[in-house]
A and B are shown apart, each in its own frame.
Chain A
C-alpha cells in the first residue's frame, strides 16, 4: 500500500465512526431533495388551487334568495345551509371557514330594484383553501349581480354598456409554470452546498483536528512524503463529498416524481441518464471542494477556528450562482471557466431537459481540475513548512 492510500483508508474509516460527522455530512443530501419537493408541491398547490374541486361554504338565510341560491347551486359548489343566530361566531370557532349571510329583506329590496348587501364572513389570517373559496364565491356573486343588472337595464330599454365606461382586464404572465421553474432553479444551489457540506467536517478533522489533538507532529515524523500525506487526506474528504453527492442524486431521483409537473404542462423527466451526467460533471467540483476545504482548514489550529473559516468558504461557491441569477447569465464558454457556476448551470440545463454542449462540459471539468491542482499544490507547500506544527 502506498502512503497515500494508507492515509486515505485511515481517515475514511476514522470519520466513518463519527456519528456527528456522518450526520452533518449527509443529512442535507438526504433531506434536501425531499424538502425541495415538499416546497415545490406546496407552491404548485397554492398557485393552482385544487382547481377541480368544488368550493365549499355555508349560507345563512338561503330561503330569502331562492334565485340566487339556485344560481349558486348550479356552479361548482358545495353549500351547507345554516340556521344560525351568530354566523360570525361559527367562523371564529372554526366550524365553517366561509359563510354567506343573506338578509330577510333581500327579496323585498330585490323586487324594488334596490341594492342588496350580502355579507361574506371569513378569517383572512387562516391559510388553507379559504382564500380561493372566497375569491371564487365573490366572482360567482358578481357575475350574478352583473347579469341581473344588465337585464334590468335591457328591460328599461337602455344599453347596459352605458354603465361600464371602462373595463380592465388582467393578464398575469407569471404562469404557475414560471413560478415553479424559478424554484427549480434553486436546485443547483443545493448541489453545490451538498458537495461542500459532504467534506466539511472531514477537512477539519484531518487538518486542524489533528493539530488540536496533538497527533499532527508524530504523524509528520513518519516516513511519508508531504504530497502523499496531503493527497491522502484530501481524497478522504473528496470521498465523503462524493458519497454526499451520490446520496443527493439518489434522493432527488426518487423524490422529484412526486412533484405534479404535469399540472403545469411540464414534462420534467429526470432519468438515470441525466443523473449520471450530473454526477460526472460534478465530480471535478467534488475534488475542487476537497482541495479548497483542506487548504483553508490547514491554516486553523483548532476545530473551532476551522469551522469559522469554512463556514465562510462554503458561502464563496454560492456567490457566483447568486450573481449569475441576478444578471441572468446564460450558458456560455466564459461561464464554464468558473467552478461551481459552470456545474450549476450545466445541471440546470440537464434538469430542464436541454441538451448540453459536450465541449462546454469538458471545459468546465478541465478548468475545475486545473484550479484543484493549484489548490492542492498550495496545501502541500503549507505542509512542507514548519509552521504547520505551531
Chain B
C-alpha cells in the first residue's frame, strides 16, 4: 500500500508538484499518467526517499518516507528511468551488488538470483558484461535488480521507454505476474495505450496537479470519447495550450 497525502515540492520558482494526493493498493497496477514534466518523476523520487517533499506526507506500507527512509528502501523496488547498469560488471554482478546492499545473506541471495534469472529468462546473457546489452536485456537486469529483495512495492518509472514490441510484451507479462502475487505496483508512463493494456487504476497528473483518479472505465466514461488519446489530452488539460 502506497499512500500520498498533499505533497508539494518546489525546485526554485518551479512548482513541480502541488498538493498531490493518491494511493496505490496491493494486488493492483496503478498508473501514474502524465505528459513529460508533469511531476511524475518528482512524485516517484519522493516515494523512493531520494527527494523530500516541502510539505505533505507519503507512506509506504504505513512507513513515512521522510522519517524512516531506510525501512522504506527495504520495502520498495525501483526500476529507474534509465537502467543505470554498470557496464564493466556482468548482469549477475549488477544484481548481486544490489542484493548485498539490501543485506541479503549470500546463500539466500544466490538462490534468489537463480530464481529471477529463470523467471525473467535471462540465462543466455546474464553472465556477460552488460556493455552492449540490448534495451530489453538491460531492462530485465535492472528489473531483477529492483526485485532482488522481493519487495512488496514496485515502482516502475517509464519502463517501456525504448523497448521493442517483444520486450514490451515480456515486461507486461512480468508485471501482470507480479500483480498476481499481490504486489503493489506503481507504474509511471506518458503512453495512454500502454496504461490501457496493463493498469487497473489511473492517476492523471499534469502541471503538478492530479486531474483524474479512478478506474480505466471511469476514465473513458468521463472523457466521453472513444479515443483514449483524446481523453488523455482533454483531462490532462493539454488541449488548452496549442
A residues with a Cβ closer than 8 A to B are 1, 3, 6-7, 10, 13-15, 17-18, 213-225, 386, 389
Contacts and interface: CB of A to CB of B under 8 A. Distances in A.
Contacts of B81: 214, 217
B188 to A, nearest CB: 14
A225 B69 CA distance: 10
Nearest to B74: A223
Interface residues of B, number: 31
- Decide if the interface of chain B is mainly helix, strand, loop or mixed: loop
Interface string B132-166: 00000000001001100000000000000000000
A209 B73 CA distance: 23
A223 B84 contact: no
A21 to B, nearest CB: 10
Given A1-B100, A10-B97, A214 B82 contact: yes
Nearest to A217: B80
9 smallest A-B Cβ distances: which pairs? Answer: A215-B84, A214-B84, A222-B101, A223-B73, A214-B82, A17-B88, A6-B100, A218-B80, A221-B48
B220 to A, nearest CB: 34
Contacts of B80: 214, 217-218
Output the residue of B45, B50, B51 with the most chain A CB within 10 A: B50
Contact of B103 (A18, A213, A223, A386): A223
Contact of B50 (A3, A214, A220, A224): A220
Interface of B: 45, 48-52, 70-71, 73-74, 76, 78, 80-89, 97-98, 100-103, 142, 145-146
B101 A389 contact: no
B89 A14 contact: yes
7 contacts: A1-B100, A10-B89, A13-B89, A17-B89, A213-B84, A221-B73, A222-B98
A15 B87 CA distance: 11
A13 B81 CA distance: 26
Given A221-B78, A223-B73, A223-B74, A386 B50 contact: yes
A18 B51 CA distance: 33
B21 to A, nearest CB: 22
A389 B100 contact: no
Contacts of A216: 84
A217 B101 CA distance: 14
A152 B150 CA distance: 110
B88 A221 contact: no
Given A7-B101, A15-B88, A214-B83, 17 more contacts: A3-B101, A10-B86, A10-B89, A14-B88, A14-B89, A17-B89, A18-B88, A215-B86, A217-B50, A217-B84, A218-B142, A220-B50, A221-B50, A222-B98, A223-B101, A223-B103, A386-B51
B89 A222 contact: no
A14 B73 contact: no
Contacts of B102: 222-223
Nearest to A209: B86
A217 B100 CA distance: 17
